[in-house]
Amino acid sequence: MRQKSLVAALTGGALSAAVLGSLLAAAPQAAAADVTCSTNVYKRTFYSNTSFSGTPVKTDCDNAVDQYWSGSPVSGVPTNNFGVRWSVTRDFGSGGPFTFTVSATDGVRVHLDGVRKIDLWQGTGDTARSKSVNLTVPSGKHTLRVDYVNWSGAAKVKYTYTPRTSATYDKTKPLAPTGVKTAYSTTTRRTTVSWSANKEMDLASYSLYRRPVGSSTWTKVTTTTARSHTDPLVNPDDRTPYYYEVRAKDKAGNTSSGSTDTIVRPLPVVTSLTGTYDKATSKVTLNWPLNTEPHFDHYTVLSNDKVDGSYVWVPLGTTKGNTWTTGPVTADGETRHYRVLVTNDGGTTTYNPAWLDANATNELWLAIPDGIAPAYAPDLTVGSCTSGIRATASDSTPAPIRDFIGFEIERRTAGTETWSVVLHQGFDPRFDPATASVCDPVPADGQSYQYRARTYDSAGNYSPYSEIHAMTRPVG
């Protein structure tokens, strides 16, 4: 190993001016502030020693490891016995086979994620030598580091890493493209698709595919090296949705899987419709996800109502928001039907068939609570039974139009305010009129007891009360 040395010349116990100047030139400067380099650009640090110890003299960025210095590389670093370190962390995509090649005078070492891959660590003077190694880089992010020292003579160093693009060696598929975005024009009725740059270093091209929603057959739209493309297909009616995906191909001919399928709906759709009924206001409030497509314009809210004897879809109004409150709706226990249509900025609106569709995402079938009580009070009779007073409630409404499911009979002692339920039960539908009876076990105490009755429906609504009937239980 040849190393240059400084010979101290003393004159009267002091350093000569020439030697002093040389020492000052070699003295390390204050550490430069740390720097942040662009993506895939090396961070380079200079040291005034060959052990990479202490504070770096300088830190900067370098696009490539490819240098020749005949003297001091930077101010504050000596001509000989200095070190330079390059490091970069980059995304290698799917990884695969690579070739690392280095050429240098004196000492050079190449590391991948801290593991030494090339080691040429000896003095060579002005004569450079080189070495190449083939290796496999795993997918994802990895750190490359090149350590170079110059002991004497000219300083030369060059390092490259390149993918092996022969199909003989490269069997690794590229990663699927990401960041796919679409833009639909209601003026031209065409879709433009764009995507993010692939991380592969051996990328050859991208291919764009399309298929109609509901079909499993992909059609290739184009192969390109660009990262966006406008599909020449003209959507015939602004209503046909398509899926798009992008695939990457490397120089070895390997093709990636498709990107996440991205759906293009020329006409935005309401993906779900929900609603609630407010008993206090008797109004229905509808809600749906707000569309964010740039070609969205407005919504139309409709209700399926009976007009001139037939049910039709009646527009309630339009909105750009994602909620709507109707006017008062009768709490009749019936099912109400609502639909929300979308119109894009080209004037095309969702299909609006005349019939109901239980599977349509933009249609809601909402059961309105029954707030209508049975209209009429039942008849009530009272009489004696073995252990008390028999109370019998009945209703002669024909069975097909009965709006109640049971009877309730109450009793109180005459002269008091508190009623007690003595019967709450359904009736036997085989009998006409509908009847329910109870033998109320009250004591033979000479007291007078009053009774009243009413009917109830399945929603818990009660009819008016019958007339009050009284009976005295004789002292036994």
| The two domains 10-163 and 379-472 share their CATH topology (first three levels equal) | no
Q: Are 455 and 395 in contact (CB under 8 A)?
A: yes
Task: Please compute Rg for the chain using Cα positions.
Answer: 45
Distance CA 278, CA 16 (A): 100
In this prediction, residue 33 carries a pLDDT of 52
pTM confidence score: 0.69
**Domain range annotation of the chain:** 10-163, 181-264, 274-367, 379-472
CATH 2.60.40.10 fits 274-367, yes or no: yes
Contact of 182 with 77, CB cutoff 8 Å: no
- 211 vs 358: CA distance, rounded Å: 27
Whether residue 304 contacts residue 339, with contact meaning beta carbons closer than 8 Å, is answered with yes
CB atoms within 10 A of CB 351: 11
Q: How far apart are CA 467 and CA 433, in angstroms?
A: 18
Tokens 């662009």 found at: 38
Q: Could you please report the per-residue DSSP string of 290-343?
A: PP--TTEEEEEEEEEEEETTEEEEEEEEEESSSEEEEEE---BSPEEEEEEEEE
pLDDT of residue 30: 38
2.130.10.10, 3.40.50.300, 3.40.50.1000, 2.60.40.10: CATH of 379-472: 2.60.40.10
* Nearest Cα residue to 369 out of 279, 457, 287: 279
Report helix, strand or coil for 51. coil
Predicted local distance difference test score (pLDDT) of residue 12: 34
Architecture category of domain 10-163 in CATH: Sandwich (2.60)
Tens-of-pLDDT digits for all 476 residues of the chain? 333 333 333 333 333 333 333 333 333 333 445 799 999 999 999 999 999 999 999 999 999 999 999 999 999 999 999 999 999 999 999 999 999 999 999 999 999 999 999 999 999 989 999 999 999 999 999 999 999 999 999 999 999 999 999 999 999 999 999 999 999 999 999 999 999 999 999 999 999 999 999 999 999 999 999 999 999 999 999 999 999 999 999 999 999 999 999 999 999 999 999 999 999 999 999 999 999 999 999 999 999 999 999 999 999 999 999 999 999 999 998 999 999 999 999 999 999 999 999 999 999 999 999 999 999 999 999 999 988 999 999 999 999 899 999 999 999 999 999 999 999 999 998 889 999 999 999 998 999 999 999 999 998 999 999 999 999 998 87
CATH class, range 181-264: mainly beta
